[in-house]
């Protein structure tokens, strides 16, 4: 019997601040999507790993962050287009909603300002500062952080994660996204389940199985007219696989992917199916931290004691 993990990259405007033309719909959907996901997860009693951009937990800032070793201009949008957009730069209200939820969600980190760790120009100093700052803010909020989700899944500086006491991260899905994923599953009958491993730094790597919004635009419209919502079908397939054998079905999304009501319907269909299968079988829903504790045989405070094979 396997388990299901759901992780969310919670970032409001920070997922796009470095882009020349931030996608308006996604930027504007961040707050609504956050609240909708919290409500749905409460309704179906599903705990998830919420990786939050640290800057969102500030009440205000000077838009410069002169003590932060980011490249020049990194925070420029805070001083220009988004100068009056506190709603996309800050979200302590939303983080309070998350921490106050009846469901036992895991609070995780998505860096301080969404720096891409895998980029060659992101040096060790910047990676360390991004982590340090987000962990400091988390500590101000009485949160201890075990899991890290890399901005844009750009994996890098894993040794720095380990040094700062992080214990897990999400790596890229071994299967493709969208149409490619459907092809893999139907033609090659591939498994959507992943297996956590412990890397050379003692960190637990929990790969993604499926990005729930990897199938968008006109391809989605065409596919929906033929198959209803193909992503719901894929997610159900992954959930079913986790009821049949060992392994993790790891779904992920950004709250700001919920840009239309049909996206809310997608999430409701997936979460209600998950709750139903959990009730009918021994299937469990885990957070990334639960996975860490299970595979290392430790708790939040204890050190890593590996019981699965090292890569
Ligand atoms: Zn700022
Ligand atoms: Zn992100």
Ligand 1 center to residue 83 CA distance, Å? 10
Strand residues in the chain grouped as ranges (E):
3-10, 49-52, 106-109, 147-148, 168-169, 197-198, 204-205, 210-211, 248-253, 284-286
Tell me the pLDDT tens digit for each residue of 13-37.
999 999 999 999 999 999 999 999 9
Ligand 2 center to residue 43 CA distance, Å? 25
SS3 for 216-255 is: CHHHHHHHHHHHCCHHHHHHHHHHHHHHHCCCEEEEEECH
Ligand 2 center to residue 1 CA distance, Å? 31
Tell me the pLDDT tens digit for each residue of 276-289.
999 999 999 999 99
Q: Are 27 and 82 in contact (CB under 8 A)?
A: no
Mean pLDDT of the chain: 91
DSSP conformation letters of 129-152: HHHHHHHHHHHHTT----EE--GG
Place of tokens 């500086």: 157
Ligand 2 center to residue 115 CA distance, Å? 9
Give the integer Cα–Cα distance in Å for 49 and 248. Answer: 14
Ligand nearest to the CA of 62: 1
Q: Are 229 and 266 in contact (CB under 8 A)?
A: yes
Give the integer Cα–Cα distance in Å for 181 and 188. Answer: 10
Tell me the pLDDT tens digit for each residue of 153-165.
999 999 999 999 9
- List the structure tokens of 177: 């996204």
This prediction has a pTM of 0.92
* pLDDT > 90? residue 270: yes
Ligand 1 center to residue 55 CA distance, Å? 7
User: What is the signed CA dihedral for 65, 68, 72, 78, rounded to 10 degrees?
Assistant: -30
Q: Are 295 and 195 in contact (CB under 8 A)?
A: no
Q: Are 165 and 302 in contact (CB under 8 A)?
A: no
Whole-number Cα distances in Å, 200 to 73, 96, 203, 205: 35, 35, 7, 10
- List the structure tokens of 229: 């919502």
- List the structure tokens of 75: 């925070």
Tell me the pLDDT tens digit for each residue of 161-217.
999 999 999 998 776 555 566 656 565 567 899 999 999 999 999 999 999 998 666
Ligand 2 center to residue 280 CA distance, Å? 34
Ligand 1 center to residue 113 CA distance, Å? 8
Ligand 1 center to residue 65 CA distance, Å? 6
- List the structure tokens of 252: 């992920």
Question: Exposed, middle or buried: residue 212 (CB in 10 Å: 0-12, 13-18, 19+)?
Answer: buried
């Amino acid at each position: 019997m396997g388990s299901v993990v759901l992780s969310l990259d919670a970032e409001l405007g920070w997922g796009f601040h470095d882009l020349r033309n931030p996608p308006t719909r996604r930027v504007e959907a961040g707050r609504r999507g956050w609240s909708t996901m919290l409500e749905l997860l409460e309704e179906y009693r599903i705990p998830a790993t919420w990786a939050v951009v640290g800057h969102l937990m500030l009440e205000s800032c000077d838009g410069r962050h002169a003590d932060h070793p980011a490249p020049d201009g990194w925070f420029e949008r805070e001083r220009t287009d988004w100068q009056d957009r506190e709603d996309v730069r800050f979200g302590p209200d939303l983080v309070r909603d998350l921490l106050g939820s009846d469901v036992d969600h895991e609070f995780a980190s998505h860096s301080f300002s969404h720096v891409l760790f895998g980029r060659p120009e992101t040096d060790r100093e910047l990676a360390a500062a991004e982590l340090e700052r987000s962990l400091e803010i988390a500590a101000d909020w009485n949160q201890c952080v075990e899991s890290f989700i890399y901005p844009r899944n750009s994996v890098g500086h894993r040794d720095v994660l380990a040094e700062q006491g992080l214990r897990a991260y999400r790596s890229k899905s071994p299967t493709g996204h969208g149409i490619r994923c459907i092809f893999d599953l139907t033609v090659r009958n591939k498994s959507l389940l992943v297996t956590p491993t412990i890397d050379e730094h003692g960190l637990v790597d929990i790969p993604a199985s499926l990005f729930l919004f990897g199938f968008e635009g006109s391809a989605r419209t065409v596919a929906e007219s033929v198959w209803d919502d193909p992503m719901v079908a894929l997610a159900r397939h992954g959930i079913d696989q986790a009821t049949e054998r060992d392994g993790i079905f790891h779904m992920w999304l950004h709250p700001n992917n919920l840009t239309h009501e049909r996206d809310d319907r997608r999430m409701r269909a997936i979460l209600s199916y998950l709750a139903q299968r959990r009730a009918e079988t021994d299937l469990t829903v885990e957070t990334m931290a639960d996975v860490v504790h299970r595979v290392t045989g430790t708790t939040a405070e204890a050190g890593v004691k590996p019981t699965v094979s090292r890569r």
